Amino acid sequence: MSTDAALDVTLARNATVLATVDETTFLVDPLFAEEGALPPIDDTPNDRNNPLVPMPDVDLSHDAVVVTHRHPDHFDEAAVEALDPDVPLFCQPAEEDAFVEDGFTDVRPVEETASFGGVTLHRTPGRHGHGELAEAMGPVSGFVVEGAETLYLAGDTVWYEPVAETLARFDPDAVVLNGGAARFNEGEPITMGVDDVRAVREATDAAVAVVHMEAINHCLLSREELRAATEDVLVPEDGERVGF
């Protein structure tokens, strides 16, 4: 792919973004299901079918795919069917076999780092919730894409020390957070809410954008609420190019 910018991010829907660093474009966490085609997340405060909104009309052209984890709101059967089986696909090592079973032929598990298209990918830690619930949610990862400029895709995580350490280590130019304060009927949120986003904002000089909003039934924090409660944070609409 080609772009005039060294760093460019477009939100498609939920956590599905097109991230371009140094003219290499990564399709991140493809959720391709049509509006309402998937069941609601269980044990949550409402029972609306997912996704809550349609996929906007955006150019999904890409050089490679990055999947932070295989929860159904980040990678679904429609993506398996739509993606080129030969596309380079970067993932957590624990999920390599599942992608191979899906028919992908160029699966590249990232233990720590990988190189592609002139940029370097670093897999970073995440904690998908708090306490025992975080353990039950299984392994999740973020990715830092490092080129002339550096992008940190935090993935499904709450604010905790390894996120602060990642920000300090890589000093990114831009950060994309998964917000929405997703939750179940019991327990604390499993993705970032207002306090988490504020903590990131205070910890970095990078541009900060928040996605993973208003698309899945257990994400209860709205864009309007997040914008009202934070400063100097970008909260893009579906289909919007994030203006770093």
pLDDT exceeds 90 at position 243: no
pLDDT at 1 (0 to 100): 43
pLDDT at 5 (0 to 100): 62
| pTM > 0.85: yes or no | yes
Q: Amino acid letter at 229?
A: A
Percent of the chain with pLDDT over 90: 93
What's the mean pLDDT when you consider all of the chain?
96
pLDDT digits (tens, 9 = 90+) for 205-237: 999 999 999 999 999 999 999 999 999 999 999
3 state DSSP class of 98: helix
pLDDT at 6 (0 to 100): 86
Rg (CA), the chain: 16
Domains in the chain and their CATH numbers? 7-240 (3.60.15.10)
Query: Which residues, 6+ apart, have CB-to-CB distance to 145 below 8 Å?
Result: 19, 21, 26, 119, 120, 121, 151, 153
Could you tell me which residue, 243 or 202, shows the higher pLDDT? 202
Q: Amino acid letter at 226?
A: L
pLDDT digits (tens, 9 = 90+) for 69-86: 999 999 999 999 999 999
